[in-house]
A and B are shown apart, each in its own frame.
Chain A
Amino acid sequence: MGNITLRNVSKVFGAHAVIPSIDLNINDGEFVVFVGPSGCGKSTLLRLIAGLEDVSGGEIAIDGKNATELPPAQRGLSMVFQSYALYPHMSVRSNIAFPLKMANEDKAVIDRKVSDAARVLNLTDYLDRKPRQLSGGQRQRVAIGRAIVRQPKAFLFDEPLSNLDAALRVNMRLEISQLHQDLKTTMVYVTHDQVEAMTMADKIVVLNRGRIEQVGSPLDLYHKPDNLFVAGFIGSPRMNFVSGQPAAAYQAHTMGIRPEHLVLSKENGTWAGTVGVAEHLGSDTFLHVNVDTIGTVTARVSGDFPVTHGDRVFLTPDAQRVHRFDDKGLAVR
Chain B
Amino acid sequence: MATLHTRSAARLMIAPSVLLLLAWMIVPLAMTIYFSFLRYNLLMPGMEEFAGFSNYSYFLTDPAFFQALFNTLAIVLGVLFITVVGGIALALLLDQPMFGQGIVRILVIAPFLIMPTVAALVWKNMFMNPVNGLFAWVAKLFGLQPFDFLANAPLMSVIIIVAWQWLPFATLILLTALQSLDEEQKEAAQMDGASAWSRFIYLVLPHLSRAITVVILIQTIFLLSVFAEILVTTNGGPGTQSTNLTFLVYAQALLQFDVGGASAGGIIAVILANIVAFFLMRMIGKTLEA
Indicate whether A and B are direct neighbours in the complex (CB within 8 Å).
Answer: yes
In this assembly, does B1 line the interface, its C-beta being within 8 Å of a C-beta of chain A?
A: yes
Min Cβ gap A46→B in Å is 14
Q: Does A24 contact B (CB under 8 A)?
A: no
Interface of B is mostly: loop
Within the complex, the shortest CB–CB distance from A58 to chain B, in Å, comes to: 15
State the Cβ distance, A67 to closest chain B Cβ, in Å.
13
Residues of A with C-beta under 8 A to B1: 53
Q: Bound state CA distance, A89 and B4, in angstroms?
A: 29
Chain B residue contacts of A225, Cβ below 8 A:
none
Q: Do residues A53 and B5 form an inter-chain contact, with CB atoms below 8 A?
A: no
**Size bin of chain A's contact surface:** under 10
Kindly state whether residue A51 has any CB partner on chain B within 8 Å: yes
Q: How many residues of B contact A (CB 8 A)?
A: 5
Q: Looking across the interface, which residue of chain B has its beta carbon closest to that of A47?
A: B1
Count, A-B residue pairs, CB within 8 A: 10
Given the complex of chains A and B, what is the CA–CA distance between A294 and B46 in angstroms?
99
Instruction: Write the chain B residue with the least CB distance to A53.
Output: B3
Min CB–CB distance B6 → chain A (angstroms)? 9
Residues of B within 8 A of A (CB): 1-5
Q: Which residues of A contact B4 (CB under 8 A)?
A: 54
Residue of B nearest to A55 (CB): B3
Report chain B residues within 8 Å CB of A54. 3-4
Complex Cα distance, B4 from A55, in Å, reads 10
Report whether A71 and B5 are in contact in the complex, using a CB–CB cutoff of 8 Å. Answer: yes
> Restricting to A53-103, which residues have a CB under 8 Å from any CB of B?
53-54, 71
**Complex alpha-carbon distance, A51 and B2, angstroms:** 9
Taking CB atoms, residues of chain B closer than 8 Å to A53 are 1-3
Question: Knowing that A52-B2, A53-B2, A71-B3 are A-B contacts, what are 7 other residue pairs whose CB atoms are under 8 Å apart, sorted by A's residue number?
Answer: A51-B3, A52-B3, A53-B1, A53-B3, A54-B3, A54-B4, A71-B5
Nearest B residue to A13 via CB reads B1
250-307 of chain A: CB within 8 A of chain B: none
Shortest beta-carbon distance, B10 to chain A, in Å?
14
Whole-angstrom CA separation of A119 from B216 in the bound complex:
59
Nearest chain B CB to A17 CB, angstrom units: 16
A52 contacts which chain B residues (CB < 8 A)? 2-3
Give chain A nearest CB distance to B138 CB in angstroms. 56
Q: Give the nearest-CB partner of A48 in chain B.
A: B3
